[in-house]
């Protein structure tokens, strides 16, 4: 048994659960900060100004997280996960304190980069350390619990941000991280004892630089295309070309690197390749489509912002139930290979049903459709991480975990960009058909509650009908993507779950 596995084996179950609780707190902080600012942004602009740069407060965080997730996973394999996790916690606490005290919009954006980079370390460490702490069958159950964190943060983030902004200050949106982060750091520092790898690591500097640049260009492409710049603009074409070229150069560099960031040999394993494909499709069709559901209820159902967020709860409930149920099934039977295919099939059924919704759809019926989509997404959300970890040698556990998570993030970004382009173009066509010329509001204005409330009744009805039609089309567009994910999942074969350490081929070479 290698040193890291022996150290984990010597930890008591109580200590492992305390460390896992710290990991859950770290994951909660990093995922909450991706959503908590949505309701605090108006107050931030009112205090700091800089309305023209407000989008960067969120974009900077997501961009930095996307860059550091795959890098920190590999650094954890090379230098040990405990120092990477503690560094991430220290950086996140420092970034949170600095964001709360930011004197200007420029400084706030800069400190959000620090926060996002640290959040990438927290996310990759959470998945990889769960793989260290628990044997695969038990691990499946605990990874199911982590799905609860992401579901809670997506719903609770805007509510917590609004509550703190209304009753304290927008600065407390950041300060509230400090006690949570200190508790997580204490749990890790006091109870997690893992030796650092004995071999001297060889850092893949070219791979780090190329992957970071490629992810940066791709994130900017998906954020700006169709919003800041038109899809056929030179800026979008340049970002697309740069993304493709940098990813190609990164693949070439990884083939020659002694210890690549994400070893290409992992993709030669069918299970790992399928896990990444299913994760990307799940990100695009689950999280990428979920952003349009509250918008549908606001524009078509004329629900208030808070109520529209609560109406999405059935989807999150379905996701949590499925993720935890899948973990318990794997813990009991040890079998997992049919779950990704079931995930893609059920998600496709949920998407097809959501495409039928219009202004007359009852909230209860919409809730059933969303619960089905959430249940389908939940069946594979954490299972793909388990599959990737089971396919990888123990020395690549962090790289495999963060590789799957990075695939999901890139899929989510691509899905949001593509589906956003579909819904905005179809809305322009449909609203032009339903309303006379000169009374057609732009898409960005038409979906804002205050603009909708000020429109005359017939115009508001035309906008609602146009958005319902565009909403149906964007969900139908997701069906071929899910079909591709289902085809990939059908190639997955059952590989028995390996025990931790050399018995499962996981010795550190």
Digit-coded pLDDT (tens) for 346-393: 999 999 999 998 878 888 998 999 999 999 988 888 889 889 888 888
Give residue 249's pLDDT band: very low, low, confident or very high (50, 70, 90): very high
Segment 317-344 mean pLDDT: 88
Distance from C-alpha of 368 to C-alpha of 356, rounded to nearest angstrom: 13
- Are 182 and 92 in contact by the 8 Å Cβ rule? The answer is no
Q: Which residues of 18-29 are buried (b: 16+ CB within 10 A; e: fewer)?
A: bbbebbbbbbbb
Segment 404-431 mean pLDDT: 82
Reply yes or no on whether the pLDDT at 418 is more than 80. Answer: yes
- Cα 155 to chain centroid distance, Å, stands at 14
Amino acid 505: pLDDT = 42
Higher pLDDT, 500 or 228: 228
Nearest to 35 by CA among 153, 162, 119, 120: 153
Q: Exposed (0-12), middle (13-18) or buried (19+): which is 244, by Cβ within 10 Å? A: middle
- DSSP code for 204: -
Amino acid 7: pLDDT = 61
Reply yes or no on whether the pLDDT at 440 is more than 60. Answer: no
Distance from C-alpha of 87 to C-alpha of 387, rounded to nearest angstrom: 28
Nearest to 275 by CA among 407, 128, 120: 407
Segment 71-79 mean pLDDT: 83
Q: Mind listing the pLDDT tens digit for each residue in 138-180?
A: 777 787 777 777 777 776 777 787 788 878 888 998 998 999 8
- Are 468 and 355 in contact by the 8 Å Cβ rule? The answer is no
Reply yes or no on whether the pLDDT at 442 is more than 70. Answer: no
Beta-carbon contacts of residue 101 (< 8 Å; ≥ 6 apart): 171
Rg (CA), the chain: 23
- Are 415 and 266 in contact by the 8 Å Cβ rule? The answer is no
- Tokens read off for 27: 């994951």
Distance from C-alpha of 21 to C-alpha of 145, rounded to nearest angstrom: 11
Quote the percentage of the chain above a pLDDT of 70.
89
- Tokens read off for 147: 């799905």
pTM of the model: 0.81
Give residue 499's pLDDT band: very low, low, confident or very high (50, 70, 90): low
Q: Exposed (0-12), middle (13-18) or buried (19+): which is 461, by Cβ within 10 Å? A: middle
Amino acid 451: pLDDT = 64
């Amino acid at each position: 048994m290698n040193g890291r596995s022996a150290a984990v084996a010597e930890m008591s179950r109580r200590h492992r659960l305390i460390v896992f609780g710290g990991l859950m707190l770290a994951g909660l902080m990093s995922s909450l900060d991706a959503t908590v600012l949505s309701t605090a942004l108006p107050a931030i602009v009112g205090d700091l100004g800089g309305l023209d740069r407000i989008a960067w407060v969120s974009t900077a965080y997501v961009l930095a997280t996307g860059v550091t997730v795959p890098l920190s996973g590999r650094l954890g394999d090379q230098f040990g996960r405990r120092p990477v996790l503690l560094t991430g916690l220290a950086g996140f606490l420092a970034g949170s304190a600095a964001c709360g005290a930011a004197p200007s919009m420029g400084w706030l954006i800069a400190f959000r980069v620090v926060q996002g980079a640290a959040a990438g370390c927290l996310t990759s460490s959470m998945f990889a350390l769960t793989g260290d702490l628990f044997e695969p069958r038990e691990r499946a159950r605990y990874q199911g619990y982590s799905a609860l964190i992401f579901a809670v943060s997506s719903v609770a983030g805007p509510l917590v941000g609004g509550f703190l902004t209304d009753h304290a200050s927008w600065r407390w949106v950041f300060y509230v991280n400090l006690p949570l982060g200190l508790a997580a750091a204490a749990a890790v520092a006091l109870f997690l004892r893992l030796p650092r790898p004995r071999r001297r690591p060889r850092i893949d500097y070219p791979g780090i630089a190329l992957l970071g640049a490629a992810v940066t260009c791709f994130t900017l492409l998906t954020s700006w295309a169709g919003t800041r710049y038109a899809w056929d603009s030179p800026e979008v074409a340049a970002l697309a070309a740069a993304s493709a070229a940098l990813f190609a150069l990164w693949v070439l560099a990884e083939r020659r690197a002694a210890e690549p960031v994400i070893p290409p040999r992992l993709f030669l394993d069918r299970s790992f390749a399928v896990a990444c494909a299913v994760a990307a499709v799940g990100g695009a069709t689950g999280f990428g489509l979920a952003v349009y559901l509250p918008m549908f209820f606001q524009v078509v159902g004329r629900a208030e912002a808070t109520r529209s967020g609560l109406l999405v709860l059935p989807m999150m409930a379905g996701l949590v139930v499925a993720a935890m149920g899948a973990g318990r099934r794997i813990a009991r039977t040890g079998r997992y290979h049919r779950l990704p295919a079931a995930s893609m099939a059920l998600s496709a059924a949920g998407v097809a049903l959501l495409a039928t919704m219009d202004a007359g759809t009852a909230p209860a019926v919409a809730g059933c459709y969303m619960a089905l989509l959430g249940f389908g997404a939940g069946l594979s959300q954490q299972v793909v991480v388990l599959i990737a970890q089971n396919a990888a040698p123990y020395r690549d556990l962090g790289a495999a975990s963060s590789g799957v998570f990075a695939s999901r993030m890139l899929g989510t970004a691509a899905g949001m960009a593509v589906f956003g382009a579909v819904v905005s173009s179809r809305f322009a066509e449909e609203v032009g058909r339903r309303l006379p010329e000169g009374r057609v509001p732009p898409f960005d204005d038409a979906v804002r509650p205050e603009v909708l409330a000020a429109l005359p009744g017939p115009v508001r009805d035309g906008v609602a009908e146009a958005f319902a039609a565009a909403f149906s089309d964007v969900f139908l567009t997701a069906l071929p993507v899910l079909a591709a994910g289902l085809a990939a999942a059908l190639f997955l074969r059952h590989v028995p779950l390996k025990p931790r350490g050399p018995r499962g081929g996981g010795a550190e070479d």
